[in-house]
């Protein structure tokens, strides 16, 4: 965080919006403070959308590049503030990750130290010690995939911060470390975390298996894996090089490594055991937990089929 912060100072001019049709362009002067606690949260959210959508639609501008590099490490400091709602933190991390993908689309070409700093900040945000206890993730953690008391009752919703963080790691982590990452994921004993991760695997299959861009992720199905502003991350409408198709969002080598490692460490029997653990952990919730169980069972079957597990 300190290294990323030290790279930038407050820009001399306020950032401006990307989309405007009148003579007056909306500016964001309230963000011209080095102390992020002084930023209005609605302005920050709006600015992150402009930072992500502007380069996609109009191409890169130095203004947006400077402002993104300035906002990123300081906005991360806002996560976990006691006065912030979990929903706000989830949207903030999701918006930051979307903008990161826009401004740094090719992790392989980033300086290794910058890529590692992004992984150690953005990628580890949902593993802050304050979000976990001895039994697993805190129920009120902003990135928890278990949502209680929705219109369906309880539900597994690994969209937004959970999904964006996992996709970031799958995209930026050194290929030789992907197997270790998957192993560490599956060692987390929290049954709600594991269930959410299985639902995420099912929902993220278009990106992790087919090479689709995040804009293809389903935002209204049973296995949610989309996140804030992910619709902006779409395949280029035209090949950059004539007669060459645009690259997949997650390159073929990474997808093959992820799938091979997953097949070595996860099988139908283990998925069934995780389902039994989930039923036992959720038993006190009674009927409110039925939708969670159905989600998990359907996701486990989809994961076994899509990832060709034994």
Q: Are 226 and 214 in contact (CB under 8 A)?
A: yes
Tell me the three state secondary structure of residue 154: strand
Q: What are phi and psi of 113, to 5 degrees?
A: -70, -35
pLDDT at 80: 83
Strand 136-137 versus strand 132-133 pairing type = antiparallel
pLDDT at 237: 55
pTM value is: 0.93
pLDDT at 220: 79
pLDDT at 22: 73
CA dihedral of 104, 117, 158, 204, whole degrees rounded to 10? 50
Q: What are phi and psi of 79, to 5 degrees?
A: -65, 135
pLDDT at 83: 61
pLDDT at 96: 97
| Stretches in the chain below the pLDDT threshold 50 | 239-240
**Alpha helix ranges (H) inside the chain:** 2-6, 41-58, 62-76, 86-103, 112-121, 161-172, 178-186, 191-203, 205-208, 252-265, 268-282, 290-306
pLDDT tens by residue, 50-96: 999 998 888 888 999 999 999 999 999 999 876 668 889 999 999 99
Q: Whose structure tokens read 């130095």?
A: 62
Q: Are 182 and 258 in contact (CB under 8 A)?
A: yes
Question: What contacts 231, CB < 8 A, 6 or more positions away?
Answer: 214, 215, 219
pLDDT at 86: 84
């Amino acid at each position: 965080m300190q290294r990323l912060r030290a790279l930038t100072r407050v820009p001399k001019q306020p950032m401006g919006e990307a989309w405007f049709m009148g003579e007056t362009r909306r500016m964001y002067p309230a963000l011209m403070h080095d102390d992020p606690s002084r930023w209005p949260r609605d302005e920050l959210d709006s600015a992150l959308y402009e930072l992500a959508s502007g380069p996609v639609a109009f191409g890169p501008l130095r203004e947006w590049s400077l402002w993104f590099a300035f906002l990123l490490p300081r906005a991360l400091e806002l996560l976990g503030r006691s006065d912030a709602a979990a929903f706000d933190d989830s949207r903030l991390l999701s918006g930051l990750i979307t903008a990161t993908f826009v401004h740094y689309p090719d992790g392989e070409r980033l300086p290794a130290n910058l890529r590692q700093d992004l992984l150690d900040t953005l990628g580890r945000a949902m593993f802050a010690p304050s979000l976990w206890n001895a039994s697993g993730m805190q129920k009120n953690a902003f990135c928890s995939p278990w949502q209680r008391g929705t219109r369906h009752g309880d539900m597994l919703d690994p969209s937004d911060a959970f999904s964006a963080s996992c996709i970031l790691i799958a995209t930026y982590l050194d290929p030789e470390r992907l197997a270790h990452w998957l192993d560490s994921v599956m060692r987390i004993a929290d049954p709600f975390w594991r269930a959410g991760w299985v639902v995420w695997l099912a929902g993220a299959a278009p990106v992790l298996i087919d090479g689709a861009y995040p804009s293809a992720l389903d935002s209204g199905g049973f296995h949610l894996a989309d996140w804030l502003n992910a619709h902006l991350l779409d395949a280029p409408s035209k090949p950059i090089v004539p007669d060459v198709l645009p690259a997949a969002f997650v390159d073929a080598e990474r997808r093959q490594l992820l799938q091979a490692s997953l097949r070595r460490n996860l099988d139908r029997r283990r998925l069934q055991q995780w389902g039994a653990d989930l039923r036992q952990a959720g038993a006190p919730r009674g009927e409110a937990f039925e939708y969670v169980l159905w989600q998990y069972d359907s996701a486990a079957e989809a994961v076994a089929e899509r990832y060709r597990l034994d």
